[in-house]
Amino acid sequence: MRPIALAAFTALTLPLAAQDGPAMSGPEFEAATTGRTLTFSIDGTPYGAEQYFAGQRLQWSFLDGRCLTGRWEARGRQICFTYEDRPGETTCWEFWAEAGGLRARVAGDPGATARYTARETDGPLYCMGPDAGV
């Protein structure tokens, strides 16, 4: 599963759609993310971070120093992501704003109970060059 700008949830046992209004629109997502770096967690455990740039461009890392470039686009109220390592594969999410960050779920999974969260991180991603190492 491709990680992406995810969000903080409230109850784990209720479908997210039952707790919220409509997911964020493309312009709302863009306003909430452009120029920021977000750290993503599943059920409170960090697993990656994404830095958002103008023009719907982004950079993702699994927090291992390796970074991938990508793009996002809005499809209705879904935010869909494509990354350089899988150019023909797109993963779509639904996002909601909440205090301190975003909360999200994989699009089309209204019964999801995993807690995906995204919180703003200080500074840009840490990305090593492709030939870094010993």
8 within domain boundaries: no
46 within domain boundaries: yes
Range of the domain at 112: 16-93+101-121
6 within domain boundaries: no
Q: Are 118 and 104 in contact (CB under 8 A)?
A: yes
Residues 68-120 pLDDT 10s: 999 999 999 999 999 999 989 999 999 999 888 999 998 987 777 778 999 99
Q: Any bridge partners for residue 71, and if so which?
A: 57, 82
Query: How far apart are the C-alpha atoms of 94 and 80, rounded to whole Å?
Result: 9
For the entire predicted model, the pTM comes to: 0.79
7 within domain boundaries: no
Report the number of distinct structural domains present in the chain.
1
Got the DSSP string for 82-107?
Answer: EETTEEEEEEEEEEEEETTEEEEEET
Residues 12-69 pLDDT 10s: 223 444 446 899 999 999 999 999 999 999 988 999 999 999 999 999 999 999 999 9
Query: How far apart are the C-alpha atoms of 75 and 86, rounded to whole Å?
Result: 19
23 within domain boundaries: yes
